[in-house]
Structure 1
Amino acid sequence: MKKLLLIGLVVGLNAAAIAQPGWNWPEDVDKAKEKNALYVDAVKSEQYATAVEPHKWLLENCPDLNESLYINGIKIYEGLADEEKDAAKQLEYQEMAMKMYDDRIKYFGDEANVLNRKAFSAYKYYKGNKAKYQEMMDLFKKVFELNGTEVLNNNLVGYMDVVRRYKLTGGAITDEEVIEIYGMVSDIIAEKQAKSGNDKYEKYQENVDKLLTATVDVNCEFIEGKLVPKMRETQDVKMAKKVFQLMLSAKCTDSPAFAEAGELVYTTDPSYGMAKVLGIKFAAAGDMDKATKYYDAAIDMSDDNLKKAEIYMNKAQMYASKGMKPSARSAARMALANDPSAKEAYTLIGNLYFQSYNDCREGVSKVDDRLVFIAAYNQYAKAGNSELMAKAKEQFPSIGEIFELGLTEGQSMTLGCWINETVVLERRPN
């Protein structure tokens, strides 16, 4: 009776094993389980050569046993490849590892995920093998088509390096096609960074930029001759982003197309950073209306007082360069309202006052005319700029000019003109 119970228990266990979810045991379940245990133990102890025979038996007799058969198979053949010194044998092991990825897809699907992982392994093993470059190009293209923003981070730089190696060894790819791939990879990096908020993606983009310039001679002439016309024709935002990024990388920011591309990007993706850049570019080009438009937009889009102060200073400098002194002072004061430590704002206001002597001079009283320099001195003092303070003080009224008008040092005086401030009368050094 006990013997019958034992037999029944074994049969029951085998039946349970066969019915185990995720496992497709063959008819000879005992042998299959034995082979599985042997190769798994060998893999765990990194005895990859020992794992080959039982693993091979399972591949031949029950290829759909379980997904782990191929996950571990990759470990076996990559481990053997890493240990192998003979180049031909090493390549053979590497190709077996690649076959494990393909067979995993054949029996268990999940193509996007598996190819995502295969691409990085292929790059790792084949990047120095020119004969494999076309194969890798096809693989990476499919990986990016299937995965989009879910592509593995390692494959971002890997794809651009494969492109570089392929082109520089005579591969059939045009400069425009290289730019197209670069743009796609850059877009994915930008989306990943926006989603995660992780600054590490800036390093990925930096490496991708370097690989592009190592692959194609990206200069201003190339961008303006081949990419800008397409951007203007299509008004495509993605093309505009490429033009903007490439011009930034190639230092073509003085080109009118740089701001043109930036404006096109801004229409669909307004941001503080882009508004700031466009404000600076239009200010430099003398287009105050557009510069003001983008500076004001940057201020409105930021909740950061320091960033606002920076933009107000940009506005102040723009107005000052155009001789618009009251507007420049107003903008500088707004900078100080947002950032009281912005000493450059005091210096700018001091310069505006110092430069107003001829504007405000009436020629009636030498003391009144020179009050602008006292006002300038006060601003320089707030900035802590001793050099400009000394320069302003040299232009104060003389003691003789003060006494001649019956005035007294230390008394308050009103400075009119556009400045309209009250200052304390002081004399210049003897």
Structure 2
Amino acid sequence: MKTRLLIVTMVLLFSGLFKAEAQTLESKYGLDSAKTILNASLYIEMVKQGNYKEALTGWRYVYKNAPAYQKSTYINGVKIMEGLYRATKNDKYIDTLMMVYDNRIKYFGKDRKYSTGWILGRKGGDLFQYREKDIPSVKEAYAMMKKSIEMQGLNAEAKVIANTMEASKVLVQNNQIEAEEVIDNYLLFMDMAKKQMDAETDPAKKDNINNARLNVEQIFFAAGVADCETLSNIFTSKFHANNNDLVLINKILRMLNRQECEDGALYAEVAERKYELDPNADAAHNLAKMFIKKKEFDKSKEYLVKSIELETDADIKADLHFKLATILLMQGKYSDAKSNALKAAKYRANWGQPYLLIGKAYAAYSKNYGSSPLEKQAVYWVAVDKFAKAKALDPDCSEEARELITTYSKYFPRKEEAFFEGIKEGDTYKVGDWINESTKARLTE
């Protein structure tokens, strides 16, 4: 009796398993698996040949009767609909294209790499591309792409980001969104690009990210919301109504800094308010930039020194020391300029600009050094040494360094003058004072 009961139980169990498997096969292949496979193989061959019209019948059968059969149903569906639209300009194919994306989300939206967020980005991008003249469609596409970027985060495609920026430009120019929304998009996308660049190690991929960043900037500037007057009009009343809001204050300062609007009335108000609320390195730096723009260099130096004291990021510290060195050079404080330039170079390896600045400081001081013409001209030897060091360290400086080397080499001492001082070509020569550098004599005819 027990044996018979066990056999019956096993039969029922396996029949249940077989039924479940049959239902799974049915849901994937549809009611007629042979017909599904045949239609799929026929339409795929037509797609490969670019014959989208002939591919349509077989594809439609698979799409309607076996929607969970293959992800390629939807990949090829996009190709077919786009191909037919290009050939006919019939809007019905764009409507179908949107349904293709919707069904891909329904049946394959949980794909690990090409998830719902990714698919939404492609759907929105295609809707924007094919209906960019239709403002309601642009608004719909824009919402899709914004959702895609929110879902994908740093994995959002560069093309989707660029399309979203372009759509926001179209919408703001048609009074469908506020200028501030375009600014928020721009700041978000630039932050994303920076994070992507920092995380990426492949040089080719870094170039792609940088190209996308440049594309976003170009679109943003073309949107017409980036000039100083427009930014002031957008943010002045907002700031006056919320002058304790550090999030708003930081956003305003970022935009004004990017557009070099440091000499405007709004910048002064916002920068000073930030320093009152949060007197950190960034706040001091903002005030320094404002005073630089106003050519109030003593005040700018004061805030640069404060910013340097408070700053912990080595790369930013390098920039601050270099700005301070530049002001000191302009004021003829050559020794202090050199000191800050060397600190800038210490905080950022292989940076040539500080050495160009030191060379310029040496050259500018030459008229004050020594008593004889040769002593004054000898200072150009150490100046050129610094230009050469900048050129060797930093390819970005090479062109300017070459020009400076050519310019100041013309002022080297002449052989005749050096002869009377007992100096020969190649001799070691010490330039004293605050310069305190040894060099090799180089003489002209």
How would you bin the TM-score normalised by the shorter chain? 0.5 to 0.7
- Aligned position for 2:168: 163
Give the aligned partner of residue 223 of structure 1: 231
Matches within 5 A, 1:5-404: 24-84=28-88, 87=89, 89=90, 91-110=91-110, 111-168=116-173, 170-196=174-200, 198-227=206-235, 230=239, 233-236=244-247, 240=250, 243-248=253-258, 250-255=259-264, 257=267, 260=271, 285-286=296-297, 287-294=300-307, 301=314, 315-322=324-331, 324=333, 326-328=335-337, 330-331=339-340, 342=355, 345-352=358-365, 354-355=367-368, 371=371, 375-383=375-383, 385=408
Post-superposition offset of 1:145? 2.3
The Cα RMSD (Å) is: 4.9
Structure showing greater radius of gyration is: 1
Gaps of 5+ in 2: 1-17, 111-115, 385-407, 424-430, 438-445
* TM-score under structure 2 length normalisation: 0.64
CA offset at residue 115 of structure 1?
1.0
1:277–1:205 CA distance, 2 compared to 1 (3 A): farther
* Paired AA for residue 96 in structure 2: M
Letter in 1 for 2:84: L
**Partner Cα separation in structure 2 for residue 226 and residue 38 of structure 1:** 58
In the alignment, the residues of structure 1 paired with residue 46 and residue 23 of structure 2 have an alpha-carbon distance, to the nearest angstrom, of: 26
Kindly indicate whether the alpha-carbon contact (under 8 Å) linking 2:39 and 2:59 is maintained by their aligned counterparts in 1.
Answer: yes
Shift of 1:280: 6.9
Displacement, 1:154?
0.6
Q: Any idea what the Cα deviations from partners look like across 1:186-235, whole Å, max 9, x if unmatched?
A: 22222222222514333323322232232234222332343365495321
Give the secondary structure class of the aligned counterpart of 2:67.
coil
CA deviation string 1:88-116 (max 9, x = no partner): x2x21122112100111123333212112
Specify the code of the residue in structure 1 equivalent to 2:210.
Answer: E
CA distance in 1, matches of 2:152, 2:436: 65
1-structure distance, mates of 2:149, 2:192: 10
The more displaced of 347-356 and 332-341 is 332-341
Structure 1 contact 73–97 (Cα < 8 Å) conserved: yes
CA distance in 2, matches of 1:336, 1:191: 25
Q: C-alpha distance in 1, partners of 2:147/2:356? A: 55
CA distance in 2, matches of 1:80, 1:233: 56
Q: CA deviation at 1:275?
A: 11
C-alpha distance in 2 between matches for 1:38 and 1:253? 65
In structure 2, what is the Cα distance between the partners aligned to 1:381 and 1:293? 35
Sort the Cα spacing of 1:20 and 1:292 in 2 relative to 1 into closer, same or farther, 3 A.
same
Return the offset for 1:241: 5.4
Distance 1:420 1:49 in 2: 79
d(CA) in 2 for partners of 1:39, 1:235: 59
| Whole-angstrom distance in 2 between the partners of 1:376 and 1:202 | 46
CA deviation after TM superposition for structure 1 residue 119, in Å: 2.3
Measured against aligned partners, the alpha-carbon deviations of 1:115-162 in whole angstroms (never above 9, x if no partner) come to: 122222223322244452222122222222222222111111111111
Measured after TM superposition, the shift of residue 38 of structure 1 is 2.4
- 8 Å Cα contact 2:121-2:144 kept in structure 1: no
After TM superposition, the score normalised by the length of structure 1 is 0.66
**What is the rounded CA distance, in whole Å, between the counterparts of 1:156 and 1:217 in structure 2?**
18
**Native 8 Å contact 1:220 1:247 kept in 2:** no
Q: Is the 8 A contact 1:223 1:243 kept in 2?
A: no
1:404-423 aligned at under 5 Å gives the runs: none
SS of aligned partner of 1:127: coil
1:175 to 1:58, Cα distance in 2 relative to 1, 3 A: same
Equivalent-residue separation in structure 2 for 1:340 and 1:71 (angstroms): 51
Task: Give the distance between the partners of 1:353 and 1:217, measured in 2 at CA.
Answer: 48
SS at match of 1:24: helix
Q: Deviations over 1:8-53 (max 9, x none)?
A: xxxxxx99x9688897123322222322232223223332222222
Give the count of matched residue pairs: 364
Unpaired runs of 5+ residues, structure 1, are: 1-13, 357-369, 395-407, 423-430
CA shift for structure 1 position 74: 1.7
Counterpart CA distance in 1 for 2:281 and 2:142 is: 35
Question: Quick one: distance in 1 between partners of 2:363 and 2:51?
Answer: 78
Identity of aligned residues (%): 21
Q: Is the 8 A contact 1:299 1:311 kept in 2?
A: no
Q: 1:290 to 1:21 in 2, by over 3 A?
A: farther
Amino acid at match of 1:240: N
Q: Alpha carbons of 1:288 and 1:225: their partners in 2 closer, same or farther (altered >3 Å)?
A: same
Question: CA separation in 2, counterparts of 1:52 and 1:76?
Answer: 7
What secondary structure does 2:28 align onto?
coil
Change (3 A) 1:336 1:124: closer
Structure 1 residues 53 and 331, CA, compared in 2 at 3 Å: closer, same or farther? Answer: closer
How big is the shift at 1:282?
Answer: 6.0
1: CA distance, partners of 2:234 / 2:168: 20
Aligned partner letter, 2:147:
K
